[in-house]
Structure 1
Amino acid sequence: MELSNNNGGSRLRRRLILIFSCVILSIGQCGGPLLTRLYFLHGGKRVWFSTFLQTASFPATFIPLAAAYFQRRKKHGPSAAKITFLTPKIFLASAFMGLVIGIDGYMNAYGVSKLPVSTSSLLLATQLAFTAGFAFVLVRQRFTPFSVNAVVLLTAAAGILAMGASGDRPAGESTKQYVLGFVLTLLAAALYGFFLPLVEYTYKKAKNGMTYTFVLEMQSVMCLVATAFCTVGMIVNKDFQAIPREAKAFDLGEGMYYVVVIWSAIVWQLLIIGTVGVICYGSSLLSGILLATLLSVTEVLAVIFYREKFGAEKGISLALSLWGFVSYFYGEIKSNKEADTQIVQESEMSQRETLPM
C-alpha cells in the first residue's frame, strides 16, 4: 500500500511539472515572436542580436540549480551531493544541441524580421511533420490514428498558408528578401523538428534517473553554447557597437527599446525551459503538437496587436490547426482511459488468482 501511494505521488508530481512546463512553453511560444516582431517593426535591424536574446538569459536557471545543490548537500552531505548529473557524453550531446538551437534561432529571427508574424508562425507549424518523422526514427514514437490525423491536419494547415502567402508581403519588402525569409523559416521548422526528438533521445540514453534538475542542467549547457555561437556572430557583424545607436533611434523611445530587449530574453527562455520540460515529462511529439497549435494562437494575437492581414487561407489554416490539436488530445485521453482500464482489469485478475480455492 505504501508503494502504491509513492507511485501515486510520483505520478502526480510528474503531471504537475508537465502542466507547469506546458504553461511556460505557451507563454514563450506566443510572446517570443510578438516581442521579436515588435523589435523589428520599430527600428530594430540586428538579426544576430535578436537571435542572441533567445538564449541569453540562461544564467537565471543557475538560481534553482544552486538551490537544488545546497538542498542535496544538506540532506546527503558534501561527499554525496553531486555538483552536476551530466556525464561527459550527455554534456557533449547538450553542446551539439545548443549549436542546433543557435543556427535554428538565426533562421527563425531572420524569418520574423522579413515576414508578418501571422505568416511566419504558421510556416513554423510545418515542424510538426518533421518532429513526427524524426520521433519515429529516433525514439520509436507510437502513433495512433488520432495523432496521425493531428500531424496531417497541422501540416496541411501550414501548406495552405504557404500557397497563399505571396499576397501578404510587407510594404517596402523586396521579393528577394521575402522569399529568403520564407525559405529560412521553413528550414528553421525542419531543424527544430529534428531538435525535439533529439532531446528526447538524449533523455532516454541518460543513465541517471530523470529529474527536473537534470533537465535544467541540459538546458543550461544548450543555451550556453547557443549564446556563445550568437555572440561570435554579433562580434563579426559589429552588433555590440550598434546597440546604443539603435536604442536611441528606436521608434518607441530608448527606454522602451531596452524593455523590449529584456522581456524578449526572458520570454524566449521560458519557451526553451518549457519545451525541454514537456519533452522530459511528456514526449517530443506532445511538444511538437503544442508548439504547432500555439503558433495559430500567435497568429491571431499578431492580427490583433499588429493589425496584420487575416485572409481566407489563414482562417482555414487556423481551423485545421485547432482541429488537429483537439484530435491529438482526444486520442491521448482515450488511450489513457483504455490503459487505466487495462491496469484495473489486470489487478483484479491478479487478486483472483491469489485468492484461496
Structure 2
Amino acid sequence: MKKVLLILNCILLSIGNCGGPLIMRLYFIHGGERVWLSSWLETGGWPIMLLPLIVAYFRRRATQGPRTQVFFMKPPLFVASAVIGILTGFDDYLYAYGGARLPVSTSSLIIASQLAFTAGFAFLLVRQKFTSYSINAVVLLSVGAGVLAMHTSSDRPKGESSKEYLAGFFMTLGAAALYGFVLPLVELTYKKTKKAVTYSLVMEFQMVMSLFATIFCTIGMLINKDFEAIPREAGEFGLGETKYYLVLVWSAIIWQAFFMGAIGVIFSASSLLSGIVIASLLPVTEILAVVFYKEQFKAEKGVSLALSLWGFISYFYGEMKHSKTKKLTQETETLQIPNP
C-alpha cells in the first residue's frame, strides 16, 4: 500500500513541480503584477483537501461505526503544522517574488540548489546519512547555481533593471534554502509525534499547514491592497478577463498538488527523496519553459543544467549502490544466524 501511495504522491508532485512555475510565469508575462496574490495562490487551494478527508472519514465510519473520529490531529501536531505553515507562507512569497523577476528556466535551475539545502538540514534534523555520491551531488548543484549567478545579465527580461533581476535571483535562492529546511522539518515532526502517522493524518497536516500559509499571505495581500486590485488587473490581463480568473483557479489547484505530493513522499519515504524528486524534474520544467515561453537557453544555462544532471545521476547511483550493499549485508547476516 505504501508503494502505491509513494507513486501517487510522486505523480502529484510532478504535476505541481512542473505546472506550478509555468502557470505562475503565465500570470506575470501577460500583465499580472501582484506578488502577494501569486504567493497566496500557492497554498490558497487548501479547501480541496477537505474532499479526500471527507471520503476517508465516511470509509472509516462504514467499517468502524458512528463513533469514528472526524480528525486525528492533536494540539501539539496542530501547533507544529501551523508553525510550518507560516514558514511555508514566507517561502511562498520569496518564490513568487523570484517568479515575477526571472524566466522559468533560470528560476528552476536555482531551485535545483534546494536539494543541497534539504540534504544539509536532513543531516542536522533527522540524522540523514551521506555517502561520497550525495556529497558530490550537493557540490555540483551548488556550483551550478553559482554559474548562473555569475552570468545574471544574459537572460534578464526587457525593461527590468539589473538590481531587480539580482533581487529575484537571491529571493529564489532564499526560497530554495527555506523549503530545503521545511521538508526535513516535516519529517522530524512525523518522527516526534506520539500518534501513529496515517495518510489521513498527513492530509490533515497538509491542510492545516496550507491554511496558515494562506493566512500569512492574506495579511500581505490586505496590506498591499491586492484584493482591491484584482478586478482592475483582470480587465487589463493580456489573455482576457475570463482567462485571468482561470489562471488563478488552476494555479491554486496545481500548487496544491505540489504541496500534497511533497509531504506525501515524505510520509511514504523521506524528506530527502522528496527533495530529489523535485530536483530531478528540473530538465522537464526547463524544456517546457523553452517550448511554451520561447525562453533563451544560453551557454551558462547549459553548463548549469549539465552540472545539475551530473549531480542527480551521482546521487541516484550512490543510493542504488547503497541499497544493494545494504541488501547483501542483510542477506549475509540472515545466513549467519544459527538455526535453533
TM-score range (shorter-chain normalised) is over 0.9
**Structure exhibiting the larger radius of gyration computed from Cα positions:** 1
Q: Within 2, Cα distance between the matches of 1:224 and 1:204?
A: 22
Query: Does the alignment pair 1:353 with 2:339?
Result: yes
Q: Any conservation in 2 of the 1:296–1:321 contact (CA below 8 Å)?
A: no
Give the AA of the match of 1:330.
Y
In structure 1, what is the Cα distance between the partners aligned to 2:284 and 2:139?
19
C-alpha displacement at 1:345, in angstroms?
3.2
Q: Which amino acid aligns with 2:171?
A: L
Structure 2 residue 279 is the aligned partner of structure 1 residue 292? yes
Which residue of the other structure, out of 5, 11, 35, is the alignment partner of 1:23? 11
Aligned to 1:233: 220
1:322 aligns with 2:301: no
* Cα displacement string for residues 142-200 of structure 1 (whole angstroms, at most 9, x for unaligned residues): 11222222222222221212211222111001222212212211111111111111111
Alignment partner, residue 41 of structure 1: 29
- Computed over aligned residues only, the root mean square deviation of the Cα atoms, in angstroms, reads 1.5
Question: What amino acid is the match of 1:92?
Answer: V
2:98, 2:250 → 1: CA distance?
A: 20
Structure-to-structure mapping, 1:53-72, within 5 angstroms: 53-72=41-60
Q: What residue identity is the alignment partner of 1:120? A: S
| 1:168 match: secondary structure | coil
Per the TM alignment, residue 300 of structure 1 is displaced from its structure 2 partner at its CA by 2.4
| Alignment partner, residue 3 of structure 1 | none
Residue 334 of structure 1: how far off its partner (Å): 2.3
Aligned partner of 1:167 among 147, 154, 166: 154
The letter of the residue matching 1:211 is T
2:192 to 196, 200, 205: 205
1:8 alignment partner in structure 2: none
Tell me which stretches of 4 or more aligned residues in structure 1 moved more than 6 Å.
none
Q: TM-score, normalised by structure 1?
A: 0.91
2:203 is equivalent to residue 216 of structure 1: yes
Whether the aligned pair in 2 keeps the contact of 1:42 and 1:250 (CA below 8 Å) is yes
The structure 2 residue matched to 1:332, chosen from 319, 332, 338, is: 319
Counterpart of 1:353, as a letter, is N
Give the structure 1 partner of residue 253 of structure 2.
266
Give the distance between the partners of 2:164 and 2:127, measured in 1 at CA. Answer: 39
Q: Deviations over 1:92-134 (max 9, x none)?
A: 0100010011101011101110111111111122222221111
Q: Which runs of 5+ in 1 are unaligned?
A: 1-12
Shift of 1:91: 0.6
1:14 partner letter:
K
Structure 1 position 347, deviation (Å):
3.3
The alignment covers a number of residue pairs equal to 340
Q: In the alignment, what sits opposite 2:2?
A: 14
Deviation at 1:40, TM superposition (A): 0.3
1:253 to partner: Cα distance: 1.2
